[in-house]
Amino acid sequence: MTRHDATLRRRRRRALLRVRIVVAGAGALALALLLVAAVLELPEGPLGLAEEAAAQLAHTGVDHAVTAVLLNYRSYDTWLEVGVLLLAVMAIFALRGGAHLENVRPAPRRDPLLTWLTRLLIPMLTLTAGYLLWLGKFAPGGAFQAGVVLGAAGAMLRLSGTPSLDRIGDVAIRILLAVGFLAFLVAAVATRLAGLDMLELPPGRAGDIILMVETLATISIATTCAVLVMAMPGAESPPAIAAKDVRKEART
Amino acid sequence: MIEPMAWCILAPFIGASLAFLLPGRVWRRPIAIGAIGATLASVWMLTSQVWNSGAQRMDLSGWPAPLGIGLAADGFSVFMIVMTGVVGSLIGAYALWHYSDLSDATEPAERRLFWPLWLILWGSLNAIYLSSDIFNIYVALEVITLAAVALITLSGKAEALVAAMRYLLAAFLGSLSYLMGVALLYATHGALDLVIIADQERAGLPEVGAFALMATGLALKTALFPMHFWLPPAHSKAAAPVSAILSALVVKASFYVLLRLWFGVFDGPAMYAVGILLGTLGSAAIIWGAFQALRQMSLKLLIAHSTVAQIGYLFLIFPLTARRPSGELAAAGWITEACTGVSYHALSHALAKAAMFLGAGVVLHVYGSDLLTNMRGMSRRLPITTFALAIAGVSLMGLPPSGGFAAKWLIVTAALGAGQWWWVLVILIGGLLTAGYIFLMLRWAFISEDAPIQLRPANMPIQLAALALALLSVLVGFRLEEPFQLLVIGDPFPIFDLP
Amino acid sequence: MTALLFDVLLALMLTVLAWRVVTTRELLQSVVLFIAYGLLMAIAWTRLDAPDIALAEAAIGAGLMGVLLLDTAGELRRRHGWRSEGGDDDTA
Amino acid sequence: MNHLLTLAILLPAIGSLAVFSRFIGARASGVVCAVAAAPALLLGLFASTMEHDVAWMLLGATFGVDPVSRIFLIFTGALWMACGLYSASTMRSDPRRSAYFFFFLLSMTGNFGLLLARDVGAFYCFFALMTFAAYGLVVHERGAGPRRAGRVYIVMSILGELLLLAGLIFAVAAGAGIDMADFASGVAAAPNQELITALLFFGLGVKAGAIPVHVWLPLAHPVAPTPASAVLSGAMIKAGLFGWIVMLPLGWSPAPAIAPLVVTLGLLGAFGAAIYGALQRDPKTILAYSSVSQMSVMVVAIGAGLMAPDRWPLILGALAIYACSHGFAKGALFLGVAVAKQAAGRDMLRRMTMMGLALAALTIAGAPPLGGAIAKKSLKAAAAGPESPSGDALALLIPLTAIMTTVVLGKFILVMAGAMRTNEGKSAVRLSPWMAAPWLTLTLGAAAAAWLIAPPTEPMTDAPQPTIPSLSAGDALAALWPIALGVLVLAITMRLARSLPKAPAAPAGDLLSLYTLASRATVAAGRRTRLPGPARWKLDFVPLVLDSIEQSRRGETLTNIERAMKTWPVAGAVFVMIVITLAAMIIL
C-alpha cells in the first residue's frame, strides 16, 4: 500500500464517520422529539385499567393489584415469561454442549472468611425470599423478586466453594428448572378439564392456588439464576464453543 | 374439555416440557411424534371449527378483555396455524431422522435440546396467531426470539454463536421498539385488546409514534430491507432443520403481527404514503436480496439471501390495500386478491424455503460442505434432493403451476387493478433474478464429477421430507378455492367496512 | 420544586451513564457503569411509583446481571487479555 | 382437444423433470422428446381455433390456438420432435446428457407455452422460461467459446427481457389489457404507441435476431450442440417473430415514426448479414448469419405491416408461410452439418447428404418448384401494392436477397464439401436410421411445407385474404435468375479469393466488438477523470466517490454495502431513520 492509498483510506474513513455521526445524531434527536411530543399529547387522567383492576381485586384472591395482574388477570403472560426463563437456561445449556451440569467441577474452596459470611447470609437470604414471596399477596414482592434473592443465595454457595446445586443430580436440576412452567401448564390443563376458562381461578381458592404456583415459580426462578451463574463461560468447565473461534469469527 | 384454540398452544407446550424432562434417546421419538400428532390434531379441530362455525374467541383466566387476555381465531389466524402445522411437522419428521440416524454429526446438546426448544417455539407461534392482546403478542414474540436464538447456537459452531448474538440483539431492538409502541397505545386507549382498540377513536401523535415504533420494530424482526443484516448469517449458520424453521416460519410471525396492526389498530389503509414506503422497501428487498443471492458461493447463504428477497413480496400488501389521498381505495375490487396473494406467498414460500433448507441439510451431510462448487455430480448422487431443490426453485421463481405462481399472479393482478403497475415490474424483475440464482445453484448439481470422492450416505426419510415439502409448494398452486374461502372468515382484513 | 430538580437530575444522569456504558472502551469499567445505571434506574422506578419494578430492577438489572457481566469480563481478561478496543462494532 | 392443449405444455415440463431426476435414461430421452412434442404438432395439424381457460389455476390464465399460431406450432413442433430424436442418438455418450435433455425439454416447454398463450402474462412467463433454459443449451459444450457465447447470450437476453417487460408494462398501463386478442388493438390505441412498439420490437428482436441486437446469435448458434442449434435457429428464433405478430399494433394503426427504422434495419440486416456470413469459415456460423439475413427479410415485412395496416392480413399470411418454410429448412441445414460429419467417409451417404443439404439451401434461396419459392412469391405479392413504398422495397428486395442467400448458402455447401473430405472416418458415432430419418423429414418438410399449409385467413373481415399462389413459368424464371446470378458471383469471388493471399477470418459477432470497444472506452474515460475538490471538507468525500466507482468496476460495491449494513452503527441509524420517516409520512 502506497502512502497515497493510505491517505485516501484515512480520508474515506473520516468521511464515513462524519456521515454516520450526522445521520445517527439527527435521527436520535428527531426520535426523542417525537416521543416527547407524543407523551405530552397523551390523554390526562388516571391511566388505563388501574381502576378496574382495583375494583375486581376482591375476586382475585390477593390484595395487591400487581400480583393480581401477574397471577390472575394476565397469568397467561406470566406463564410465557416463566417460559422465557426456561428458554434462557436451555440457551446456556446449548452453549455448554449439554443439558446437564455434570461436567461443572466443584468450585475450589475460597478463604474461610467468605465461607463464614456465606453461612451467615444463606439463612437470611432464604428467609428474605420467603418473606418476599409471602408479601406479594399484599404489597410489592412476589415470585420474581423472591426467586432472584434465593438464586443469589445459590450463587453465593457456589462462589464460596460450599456444596451447592452442582451436588444435585441431573434429573433433579431439570425438574427444579421446569417446575414453574409446569405449574402454570398443570393449572391451564386442570382448569380446562374442570370446565372453567383456561387458567381461570375460582375466587374461593384463588389465593391458595396463586401461592402454590408462585412458590413453584420461585423455585424455578431461583434455580435458573443460580444455574446462570454456575454455568457461565467463566466457570471452570470448557464451554462447547471455543472462545478463540468466536473471536476469529467476530473479526470477519 | 375440548377447546382446540387452547390445545393448539397447550399440546406443543406439554410436549416441550416432557422433552425437556426426559431428554434420553429412548423417549425422544415417542415424545416428538406424540407432540406433533397432538398438535396437528388440535390444528385440525380448530380448522374445522372455524370453517364450520366462523371466527372464534375465548377469554383466558375467566376475565373478559380489557382486564384479561383474549384468544381469537379467524380465517387468517387459522391459515397461518395450518401453515405452521404442515411445514413444522414435516421439518419435525426430518429432524427425527436428522438427530437420530445422523447422530455422529451432531452435538449432544443439539440432540437433547432441539425438541424442547422447537416445541416451545411452535406453541408460541400458535400463541401469536391466536392472540388478541398486543402485550401478550410482545411476550410471545420474546419467547420466539429466545427459542430461535437457542436453536441457532445448538449447532455448536463459533460462527453460529456470533450470528445468534447478532440476531438476539437485533430482535431485542425490534421487540423493545414494539414494546414502546404498546406503552403509547395503552396510554392512549387504556386497553390492550386488539378489538377494543380497533373500536375506539384514533388519531393523535401518540398513535403516530406507536405506529412508527411498532412497524419498524416488527419490520426489523421480519428482516425487511435495509434491516435484514442479521438474517443471512443467522439462517445460514444454524443446523438444517433450524434454518428451515427460522426462514419458513419465524419471520412470518412478526409480519403477521404487523398486518394485524395495519388493519386492526392503526387504520393503515388511510396511510397511503406509508403504504408506498413499505412497498418500496419491499421492492428494494426483492431486488437486493436476489442480487446478493446471485453472488453467494455457499448454498445455505444463497437460500438465506433468497429469504431476504422473498420477504419483500409480503410488504407489497401495504400499498395495495391503501387508500389514495383522494379517499378511494387504490385497489378497490382487488383487495381480496391482494390479501390472498400475500398470504399465499407466505405459505408457498414457507413450503419451498423449508424444502430448500432441508435439501441443503442433506447436501451438507453428504458432501461435508455446502459450497456450490462442491455440489458437482449431485444430480446423479442425490437425485431426490436435487429434484426437491429444483421443484422448490420452481415455486420460488413463480413459474406456473405452483404456489409461488398463484401468489405472484394474484399480487400482480391486484397491482394492475390498483393502477400501481410499477410493483409488477419489480415482481417480474425479481422473478428473473430468482430464476438466475436457482439456475446458478442447479448448474453445479449437473456438472458431473468423475473423480470418486468420499461421501457419507444419506438415508431416504430425510430426503423424502424435503421432497414432500417441495411437492406441496407446487401442489398448493392447483387449488385456491378453499384458501380463498378460509381467508375471509371473520373478516381479518376489515377494509370493506370503510367508506 | 426539589422533587422536580431531583427528577431532572436523575434523568440527566441516566442519559449520561447510558452514553458512557456504550462508549467506554474498557470492558470492566463499562460493566461497573452498567451496574450503577441499574441502581439509578431502580430509584427512577421508585420515583414513578412502581416499587415492584424497582425491586426487580435492583435485584435482576443491577444484581444478577452485574454478577454475570463482571464475571464474564474478568474471565475474558484473564484468559485472553481481550479488551474492547473499538472496531469490533460488528460483533455486538 | 382441450386435453391436447394441456398436454402440449405439461408433457415437456413433466418430461424435463423426469429426465432431470434421472428417472429416464439417455435413449429413452429421445422418445420422451418425441412424445412431448407430439401434442403441439398435432394441435398445429388438426386443431381448429379454440380458447381454453385453465380452470384449475383459477387465475384466468388462458391458452388457445388460432390460425397463425397453428402454423408456428406445425414447424416448431416438427423441429423439436426431429431434433429431440436426433439428440437421443448423438448425446448418448455425453457425460452431461441429462442436463442437456433437461434444458432441451424446458426450452421446449417455454416455446410451446408461448405459442399457446392467449394472455400476455403467460406469454411473458414462457418466453422467459425458454430464454433462460436455452442458456443451458448454449453453454452445454463447456470451454472458452461456449462460455463467451453464453455470457453474451445472457446479457443480451436480459436486455431483451427488460425491454419487452417495459413495453408490456407500458402497454398494460395504457389500458391494453392482458388478453392477447385485444392487446394489439390496445397498443394501437395507446397514446405512447410508438414507444411501446419500439420497446416490444427491440425486446423481442433480441430473440428474433434483428439488427443491431442480433450479436449473440452468430456466437451462440455455432457453439451449441448441433441439434440444439437447429431448434435455436429454426424454432426459438421464430418466437420473437411470433411475439411481433401478436403484440405489435400491426393491422390496427400505422406507426410512421418507427416503421421506417424497422424497414431500414431489416434491409441492412438482409444484406449485411449475408455478406458478413459469406466471409465466415465455420459452417454453423455461416448458417447463423444466413438466419440473421432471413429474419431481416421478415423484419422488412413487419416494417411494411407497420406502415400499411390495410395490407397486413396479406403480409401476415405470407409471413407465416415464409417463417414455416425457413424454420424447416434451417433445421434441416443445421442437422445436416452433424449428419455430414457422421456420413463422411462413405461415398454413397456423402453424396446423399450433399444432395439433401443442397435441397434445403435451395428452398431458402427460393428455387422453384420448392416451397421456398411459394413463400417468396406470396410475400412479394402481399407487400407490393398501390402507395406502399416499403412494399415496393420488399418486392425489390426479395430477388436481391435471393442472390445473397445463394452466395452465403453456396459458401456453406462448399465449406461442407471440403469438411467432409477432410473429416473422413473421424466421427465416433456412425450414422443410424434414427439420425437420418429426422433429418430427411425436415428436408422434405422444408421443400413441401409452403405447398401444403394453408395461410391463415380471417373469414369475418372483408379485407383481402391471403391465398396460396400458383407458380407460373414466368414466376419460375423470375425466381431462378437470382439464384443463377448468385452462383456466378460465388464462383467469381472464390476464384478471386484463391489468387489473393489468405486474409484472417472476420470475427463472428460483428457489431459485438464495436460494443465492447465502446464500453471499454467509456470506462477508461471515466477513470481518467479527476474530480476537483478545493475545500478540505469536500476533499474527504472525493476518495469516497472515487473508491465507490472503482469498487463498482470490480463488482465489490454490493458486498461492501452489505457489509456496512451489518455494522451496528449503520444498522441502528437505519432503524432510527425508518422510525422517523414513517412518523413523518403520517404527520405530513
The interface predicted TM-score of the complex, written ipTM, equals 0.87
Burial of D34 by CB count in 10 Å (0-12 exposed, 13-18 middle, 19+ buried)? middle
pLDDT at D444: 84
D502 and D571 part of one domain: no
Q: Is D55 on the interface with B (CB under 8 A)?
A: no
**Grid coordinates belonging to D152:** 453474451
pLDDT at D94: 76
Asked if residue A158 lies in contact with residue A230, where contact means CB atoms within 8 angstroms, the answer is yes
Q: Is C80 on the interface with B (CB under 8 A)?
A: no
D583 and D470 part of one domain: no
B70-79, B234-243, D464-473: segment of lowest average pLDDT: D464-473
C-alpha D512/C-alpha D148 separation (Å) is: 12
C-alpha B244/C-alpha B250 separation (Å) is: 9
pLDDT at D5: 80
Nearest to D572 among A9, A24, A30 (CB): A24
Counted across chains A and B, CB pairs separated by less than 8 A come out at 190
Q: Is A242 on the interface with D (CB under 8 A)?
A: no
Burial of D50 by CB count in 10 Å (0-12 exposed, 13-18 middle, 19+ buried)? middle
Neighbours of B152 (CB within 10 A): 28
pLDDT values of chain A reduced to their tens digit, one per residue, 252 residues: 456 667 777 777 777 777 777 887 888 889 999 899 888 888 776 667 888 888 888 888 888 888 888 888 899 999 999 999 999 988 888 877 654 555 555 566 667 788 888 888 889 999 999 998 888 888 888 888 899 889 888 888 877 777 777 677 778 888 999 999 999 999 999 988 888 888 888 888 888 899 999 999 999 999 998 888 877 654 444 444 555 565 566 555
Nearest to A225 among C64, C72, C91 (CB): C64
Residue B341 or D389, more confident: B341
* Closest residue by Cα to residue B358 from B475, B222, B470, B230: B470
In a domain, C89, yes or no: no
The total domain count for chain C is: 1
Name the residue ranges covered by the structural domains of chain A.
1-42, 50-243
Instruction: Please judge whether D567 and C90 are an interchain contact, meaning their C-beta atoms are less than 8 angstroms apart.
Output: yes
In a domain, C90, yes or no: no
pLDDT at B100: 66
Boundary (domain end) residue, out of D497, D526, D555: D526
In a domain, B498, yes or no: yes
Question: Which structural domain, as residue segments, surrounds residue B429?
Answer: 289-499
Question: Which structural domain, as residue segments, surrounds residue D571?
Answer: 537-588
Strands (E), chain C: none
The total domain count for chain B is: 1
D512 and D553 part of one domain: no
C-alpha D255/C-alpha D134 separation (Å) is: 32
pLDDT at B230: 92
Q: Would the pLDDT of B101 be above 90?
A: no
Nearest to D579 among B213, B429, B450 (CB): B213
Asked if residue B174 lies in contact with residue B207, where contact means CB atoms within 8 angstroms, the answer is no
Residue of C nearest to A144 (CA): C56
CA distance A6 to chain D (A): 11
Tens-place pLDDT, residues B316-339: 999 988 887 776 766 667 788 888
Residue B200 or B181, more confident: B181
Residue C59 or B358, more confident: B358
**Grid coordinates belonging to D91:** 448425446
C-alpha D417/C-alpha D354 separation (Å) is: 7
Q: Is C92 on the interface with B (CB under 8 A)?
A: yes
Asked if residue D334 lies in contact with residue D234, where contact means CB atoms within 8 angstroms, the answer is yes
Q: Would the pLDDT of B303 be above 90?
A: yes
For residue B73, what is the enclosing H or E element? strand B70-73
Asked if residue B437 lies in contact with residue B293, where contact means CB atoms within 8 angstroms, the answer is yes
Chains touching chain D through at least 3 C-beta pairs below 8 angstroms are: A, B, C
Chains touching chain A through at least 3 C-beta pairs below 8 angstroms are: B, C, D
pLDDT at B27: 83
pLDDT at A238: 46
The total domain count for chain D is: 2
In a domain, B220, yes or no: no
Asked if residue D361 lies in contact with residue D330, where contact means CB atoms within 8 angstroms, the answer is no
CA distance B151 to chain C (A): 19
In a domain, D62, yes or no: no
Residue of C nearest to A151 (CA): C64
Instruction: Please judge whether A74 and B61 are an interchain contact, meaning their C-beta atoms are less than 8 angstroms apart.
Output: yes
Greatest pairwise CA separation for chain A in angstroms: 83
D550 and D444 part of one domain: no
In a domain, D265, yes or no: yes
C-alpha B382/C-alpha B150 separation (Å) is: 31
**Grid coordinates belonging to D310:** 390495410
Phi, psi of A160 (to 5 degrees): -85, 0
pLDDT at D275: 84
Supply the mean pLDDT for chain B. Answer: 87
CA distance D31 to chain B (A): 21
Instruction: Please judge whether A34 and D583 are an interchain contact, meaning their C-beta atoms are less than 8 angstroms apart.
Output: yes
Asked if residue D565 lies in contact with residue B289, where contact means CB atoms within 8 angstroms, the answer is no
**Grid coordinates belonging to D123:** 406469454
Tens-place pLDDT, residues D492-537: 887 777 766 666 666 766 777 777 777 667 656 655 554 444 444 4
Q: Is the peptide bond before B116 cis (omega within 30 degrees of 0)?
A: no
D290 and D437 part of one domain: yes
In a domain, C63, yes or no: yes
In a domain, C2, yes or no: no
In a domain, B4, yes or no: no
Question: Which structural domain, as residue segments, surrounds residue C73?
Answer: 8-78
Q: Is B201 on the interface with A (CB under 8 A)?
A: no
D471 and D342 part of one domain: yes
Please list the alpha-helical segments (H only) found in chain A. Answer: 3-40, 50-55, 65-68, 75-96, 112-135, 143-159, 170-193, 206-230, 243-251
Tens-place pLDDT, residues B183-221: 999 988 888 898 888 888 766 888 889 999 999 999 999
In a domain, B27, yes or no: no
**Grid coordinates belonging to B170:** 437485533
Which residues of chain D carry a pLDDT beneath 70?
1, 21-27, 53-61, 344-346, 383-391, 393, 423-431, 455-472, 499-506, 508-509, 519-520, 522-557
Sign of CA dihedral D288, D291, D295, D296: positive
* Closest residue by Cα to residue D398 from D415, D382, D410: D382
Task: Give D288's Cβ-side CA count (13 Å radius).
Answer: 27
Phi, psi of D51 (to 5 degrees): -130, 150
Tens-place pLDDT, residues B305-315: 999 999 999 99
Q: Would the pLDDT of B408 be above 50?
A: yes
For chain B, give the number of residues: 499
CA distance D524 to chain A (A): 20
Using an 8 Å CB-CB cutoff, list chain A residues near C59.
Answer: 144-145, 148-149, 152
C-alpha B393/C-alpha B386 separation (Å) is: 10
D406 and D510 part of one domain: yes
C-alpha A150/C-alpha A156 separation (Å) is: 10
Asked if residue B455 lies in contact with residue B381, where contact means CB atoms within 8 angstroms, the answer is yes
